[in-house]
């Protein structure tokens, strides 16, 4: 099933990326898990090799490649088990805000560093009391002469410790309409009044730095308003399609990897004189997993194609994110059952995956939010 038209250039890029990661990044993967952070040097390696922000135009230091290169990078990072290195967040979720909405001055100032890995980015929407309902945020942004004064806090921010630049959503308290009150602001590391809180201890994704961010009379220049004032909510909604799509293709490739590892284990593990995979219950379970994975891949690839063609694939994106993330959680659980006692050992790589993937049904919009949007799309 060839829905996406990968060229030989795409395939060669994938081969080179895989070889690069195996040599430069995978050997350090376990240390990152122990340290609970990916060093900035790893980001710079990715940038120097040309694997960050592949869609950024050449005018701003990027290679100006098509979206399939983003898909390749995210898939291969996921396949290599580098869950702490959230290049998809940086390259395909945060940086596109600057590419799409930034002023020429902002693009020239920030994008080359994003491409090289010298600038690591984050986006700060979620607050302690406002998660999926972005318009319910409490963080404020008030004008004071030529400056904007930010006050409030954000939580569950990926790249929160490492980030050199964070796009912050905040509202003008003088604007009554809660949607048009929201604007986006660029806050740079080292800005007075911008501080990091604790790095959050999570169930999984241990190498991914997730933190609280605090803004106390944090003053930024008006030049750091991203896009038009009051258009923040619309900009966030516009970019959520790609954010959830990025989540889906990382999820699907993870499921494919689990299936591959489980089949290999069942074909090489002997039980009562024959391979585990020859038992009917095991065969049926793997057949079900393979079918569901193939269906999720087909939906995802069709959605990526529509996204690249500029079509409205919001409903398909929600379906893909919801279906693949829920399926993945069930799949890794069933896979561990087939590993028997080995399924409970840290030496089994699927144990880490089991912890890592649980949150996928929550971040970038919960399953319930996905279902709500899907229901609205079908006229309910």
Q: Which of 43, 79, 17, 56 is nearest to 162 (CA)?
A: 43
Q: Which of 244, 249, 144, 156 is nearest to 199 (CA)?
A: 156
What angle do the packed helices 367-377 and 314-338 form, to 10 degrees? 140
Q: Give the pair of three-digit tokens for residue 325.
A: 């993330």
243 catalytically annotated = yes
Torsions phi, psi of 64, nearest 5? 65, 40
Q: 365: left (phi > 0), else alpha (psi -120 to 50), else beta?
A: left
CA-CA distance, 367 to 358, in Å (whole number)?
12
Alpha-carbon distances, residue 245 vs 40, 131, 278, 303 (angstroms): 26, 19, 36, 8
Number of Cβ within 10 Å of residue 105's Cβ equals 9
Q: Which of 364, 367, 339, 365 is nearest to 353 (CA)?
A: 339
Q: Give the pair of three-digit tokens for residue 234.
A: 């619309």
CA-CA distance, 314 to 377, in Å (whole number)?
9
Q: Give the pair of three-digit tokens for residue 338.
A: 């087939």
CA-CA distance, 54 to 43, in Å (whole number)?
14
Positive or negative, the Cα torsion across 137, 367, 353, 80? negative
**Which of 243, 288, 326, 346 is an active site residue?**
243
Q: Give the pair of three-digit tokens for residue 217.
A: 């009379």
Name 220's bridge partners.
148
Catalytic residue numbers, as ranges: 243
């Amino acid at each position: 099933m060839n829905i996406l038209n990968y060229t030989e250039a795409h395939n060669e890029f994938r081969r080179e990326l895989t070889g690069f990661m195996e040599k430069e990044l995978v050997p350090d993967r376990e240390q990152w898990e122990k340290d609970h952070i990916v060093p900035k040097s790893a980001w710079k390696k990715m940038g120097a090799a040309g694997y960050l922000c592949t869609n950024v135009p050449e005018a701003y230091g990027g290679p100006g490649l098509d979206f399939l290169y983003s898909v390749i990078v995210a898939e291969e990072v996921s396949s290599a088990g580098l869950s702490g290195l959230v290049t998809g967040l940086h390259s395909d979720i945060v940086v596109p805000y600057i590419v799409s909405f930034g002023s020429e001055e902002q693009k020239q100032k920030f994008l080359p560093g994003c491409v090289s890995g010298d600038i690591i980015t984050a986006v700060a929407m979620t607050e302690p009391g406002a998660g999926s309902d972005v318009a319910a945020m409490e963080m404020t942004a008030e004008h004071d002469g030529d400056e904007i004064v930010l006050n409030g806090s954000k939580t569950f921010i990926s790249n929160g410790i490492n980030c050199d630049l964070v796009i912050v959503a905040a509202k003008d308290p003088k604007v009554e309409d809660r949607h048009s009150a929201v604007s986006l602001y660029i806050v740079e590391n080292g800005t007075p009044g911008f501080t990091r809180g604790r790095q959050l201890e999570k169930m999984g994704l241990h190498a991914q730095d997730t933190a609280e961010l605090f803004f106390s009379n944090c003053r930024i220049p008006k030049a750091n308003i991203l896009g038009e004032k009051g258009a923040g909510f619309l900009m966030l909604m516009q970019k959520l399609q790609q954010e959830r799509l990025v989540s889906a293709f990382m999820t699907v490739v993870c499921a494919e990897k689990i299936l591959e590892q489980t089949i290999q284990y069942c074909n090489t593990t002997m039980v009562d004189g024959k391979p585990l995979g020859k038992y009917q219950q095991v065969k049926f379970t793997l057949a079900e997993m393979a079918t569901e994975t193939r269906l999720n891949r087909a939906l995802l690839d069709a959605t990526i194609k529509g996204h690249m063609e500029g079509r409205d694939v919001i409903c398909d994106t929600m379906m893909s994110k919801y279906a693949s993330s829920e399926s993945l959680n069930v799949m890794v659980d069933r896979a561990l059952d087939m590993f028997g006692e080995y399924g409970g050992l840290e030496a089994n790589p699927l144990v880490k995956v089991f912890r890592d993937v649980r949150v996928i049904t929550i971040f970038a919009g919960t399953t319930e939010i996905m279902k709500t949007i899907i229901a609205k799309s079908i006229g309910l």
